[in-house]
Every structure is written in structure tokens, then in C-alpha cells.
Amino acid sequence: LEAEIAAGRKLAEAASIIGGKAGGGTPRPVLSPIDGSPVGTVTEAGAEAASAAMAAAAAGFHAWDRTDVTVRAAALDKAAGLMEARRGMLLALLQDEGGKTLDDALAELREAVDFCRYYAAQARKIFGPGEHMPGPTGEDNILRHRGRGVFVCISPWNFPLAIFLGQVAAALAAGNAVVAKPAEQTPLIAHAAVKILHEAGVPTSALHLVLGDGRTGAALTGHAAVAGVAFTGSTETAWAINRSLAAKNAAIVPLIAETGGINAMVVDATALPEQVADDVVTSAFRSAGQRCSALRLLCVQEDVADKVVAMIKGAAEELKLGDPRQPATHVGPVIDAEAKAGLEAHIAVMKGAARTHLAMAAPAQGTFVGPHIFEIARVEDLTREVFGPVLHVVRWKAGRLAPLLDAVAATGYGLTLGVHTRIEATLAAVAERMAVGNIYVNRNMIGAVVGTQPFGGVGLSGTGPKAGGPNYLKRFAAEQVIA
């Protein structure tokens, strides 16, 4: 595998792809978060390119929507196979551009491949010739699904292949034309993925790539041709997209949003401390905490808090920070200097306001942030998602589980929640009271526990239906009844 990755590692070039042609712009280097070395060159498009891509997608929509679903699905299956065959190149990009450890890169590639195959299989089931339904006189009526039109897919850098491809594959499977805009931090891997989809048989008229930052994203979601938006990123951006869709005064356009979370874990006195320590370290610090699902707020019952925190600290101190291309590394860099500065500012505030349990140093080169653990007095002291390796601990008293849960719920986020307990009633109470998307019981909390289980949240964390789930594809399609 190492040899395959080494062979796949070469300077990459990416530009927008509109109607199969490379878009223009001014090239800039893409630098690795690991050490600032060049990974490739990206040419970003401006607002005109966004508009050209939307027009080209609108022109390509009907042909793709009328393409038999088995043909659409076959293209996704073929893309999955091509990704497996070219894993050296994709893994190298996930590591160099995304800063991922080999374990994380492999898991992400697997997830991207699974999304393609799963959505292909789902599409064959859901988007066939239609379902027969009896009409008023018993005659044969039909319910079928069609693409909505041009779907804009906007994705983040933290899963630059799996989330990017998951959105695009779902939208394409349902018969939409797609304009995809990946995060500005990770254009190279998105470009590689689009090339693979085109090679696998997705027409260049049905799938377009537009590279650029948030302004380019806004130009796409604000375009008159948009028929749907799939978005994963910050809650603030989801609000901005919602506002822009609402202001259009035209078609009522659905937004499928997956945003952030505060992701609490509740630990009671019956939990197994060794397992808790292991799961907390994995959930809070793996991927440098840059997962939507990552644990940010650990709620430990007071009676066991000192012991549990000491064990977590001990386990965290074993983590090796550094170059994620080294097999021994557990924690790689955060994505860029801006992310690092934001985390350092939060850490500085916490150092003044909270008790510090752990403050690990980070390598000076690259954009690293060492794992930190702070103890805060109340759940309310953590008001926003802190997207990095920073864990906040709060204690709760026996008999006060309900108010604790209410305080967690009051944050408004509803993505993930962990529970460590050996009491069935505690688990039932937590699951009943908490409107979160994914609950993890006596295990770590990282994404979907099996590739094709649904993942996603509610409230400030997103709209549902969940990515990877059996209901996801339907949101990308329009139902049509022929009676």
C-alpha cells in the first residue's frame, strides 16, 4: 500500500470543469497542512464561471433525467471501481491535501466507494419505472420519481472525498444535473473525483465542477436555475444559503443541510472507565477533532469524574502528533492557518476561564494544534462548535441527569450523543429525551458506525434525511403522480 501511495503522489492540477472543459482563472498553489509543501495548483473560477456552469447544467438536465436509472446507477458503480483501482492517487491526496492519517484516509476512501455503490443500488430500487397505485375506479395510476433539475452540491474540507462524492452521487442517482463546489481548502481531490465520474460514464453535460470560495458558492445558490441544494458545513453558511434561496422569489427550493454539533457524551458511575477513556480519546482527538460527529462536551457523573478524567488524560498523552504519513501518527494537522488561529484563540480564552487538564504541545511546522482538555462549570459555558482537538468536561451530580440533558438540548444542536452506562433505564431516558440524529451506546462516536447507516442531525445540526440512509435519495427527487 505504501508503494501504491508513493506511486500515486504527484503534483496535481485542478480547474473548474464546465461542460467538460477546463475553466479559467488565476492559478494558485495548494499547500499541504502537514508542512506547507506544494501539493498542486488550483485555478479558481469567478462568478461568471458559476453562472456558466448553472446554464450548462440546466441544458444537460433533461437528457440525464431521461437516462434509464440502470444506466445512471451503472456509472456510479463503475466510479466506485475506478476509485478502488486508483486508491494510491486518492490516498496520497487525502493525506497531502487533507492532512489525514492513513487510517482516516483509508476509511474515507472506503466510505466514498460505499456511497457510490449504495446509492446506485438504492436508485435502482426507488427510481425505476414507478409504483402502480389504484385510481378512483380501480384503474392503474402511477407514482414515480424524477430529478428536480440542477442540484448545487456544496461541501466542506473535512471529508473532501466522502462528503463531496456522497452529495454528488446522490444527486446524480436521482436524475439531477449537478454543479458541485468543494471547499476551497481541498479542490484537488474533488477534481480527481469528478474526472473519475466522467470517465465512469456520467456525461460532462450532467456534472460540472466549480472551484472557488464562499462567494462562488453564494453565486451558485443565488442562481435562478437552482432546483435544490445539498450542503455540508457550518450552521452560519446553512442560514446564509436558506436566506438566499428564500429571497429568490421563484421556485421553492429544498435545502438538504448537514451542519455542526456540540456532541456530548454522558458518562455515569456505572460506566467502565477504561472503555470510556479509550472511546473519549478516539471521539475527541482522532482526525484532530475535525469530524462533525467529534465529541466536544464530556458530561461525567461527579462520583467518578476525577478517576475518569485522569484516565482520559493518561490515554491522550500517549497520542503521537505529527506527520500523518508516518504510520505511528495518531493526530495530524488541522486544515489551515485560519483553523489553527481560531482554535488557539479559543484555547487562550479557556485557559483563563476553565481548569486545564491537558495542554499538549504541537509541532511548530505545519498547522498543528495539540489536544486540550478543559473543565467548565456549566454546559452553558460551551456555546458553539469548536472544530478541533479540544475537549470540554463538565461534572453532573447523581439524580441530576434530566437537567443536564435539558442543558445539552438547549444548545440547539442535535447531531450526535454518546452514552456510557450499564443501566438500561439511563439509556432509555437519554434516548427518549434527546432529539439528536445519532446516539452511540458504550462505544466511540465517529460518524456512521457502519458505512451505510444513516448519519446526520436535527435543529442547528441539519435538516435530515440523513446521508447514507435509505431515505436520503428521495429528497433529491420530485414525486410525480400520473392518475
Catalytic residue numbers read 258, 292
Least spacing, CB of residue 164 vs ligand ADP, in Å: 9
Would you say 160 and 97 are in contact if contact means Cβ atoms under 8 Å apart?
yes
- Evaluate the omega torsion of the peptide bond into residue 465 and state whether it is cis, within 30 degrees of 0: yes
- Residue 153: CB minimum distance to ligand ADP, A: 10
Which range touches ligand ADP (CB under 6 A), out of 27-35, 85-93, 210-218, 369-377? 210-218
The answer to whether residues 91 and 106 touch, using CB atoms and an 8 Å cutoff, is yes
Which span sits near ligand ADP by CB under 6 A: 111-119, 143-151, 177-185, 407-415? Answer: 177-185
237 binds ligand ADP (CB under 6 A): yes
**Of 280 and 347, CB closest to ligand ADP:** 347
Q: How far is CA 50 from CA 19, 329, 380, in A?
A: 12, 39, 41
Binding region for ligand ADP (CB under 6 A) out of 31-39, 133-141, 229-237, 450-458:
229-237
Interface with ligand ADP includes 184 (CB under 6 A)?
yes
Q: Which of 101, 221, 283, 301 binds ligand ADP (CB under 6 A)?
A: 221
Contact 173, 476 (CB under 8 A): yes
Question: To which residue does cell 444527486 refer?
Answer: 171
Beta partners for 42?
14, 28
- Strand, helix or coil for residue 477: strand
Closest CA to 98 of 155, 177, 17: 155
Q: Which residues contact residue 1 at a Cβ distance below 8 angstroms, ignoring those fewer than 6 apart?
A: 91, 102
| DSSP symbol at 230 | E
Min dist. Cβ of residue 424 to ligand ADP (A): 37
461 binds ligand ADP (CB under 6 A): no
Of 212 and 464, which has the nearer Cβ to ligand ADP?
212
Q: Binding of ligand ADP at residue 154 (CB under 6 A)?
A: yes
State how beta strands 131-134 and 12-15 pair. Answer: unpaired
**465 binding ligand ADP? (CB under 6 A):** no
Residues numbered 240 to 279 that lie near ligand ADP (CB under 6 A) are 240-241
Member of 50, 73, 183, 206 binding ligand ADP (CB under 6 A): 183
CB-based contact 179:80 (threshold 8 Å):
no
Cell matching residue 395: 461534572
16 binds ligand ADP (CB under 6 A): no
As beta bridge partners, residue 30 has: 40
**Is residue 150 within the footprint of ligand ADP (CB under 6 A)?**
no
Taking the least distance from each CB to ligand ADP, the nearer of 387 and 396 is 387
Grid coordinates representing 146 are: 424524477
Interface with ligand ADP: number of residues (CB under 6 A): 16
Binding site for ligand ADP (CB under 6 A): 154-156, 181, 183-184, 213-214, 217-218, 221, 233-234, 237, 240-241
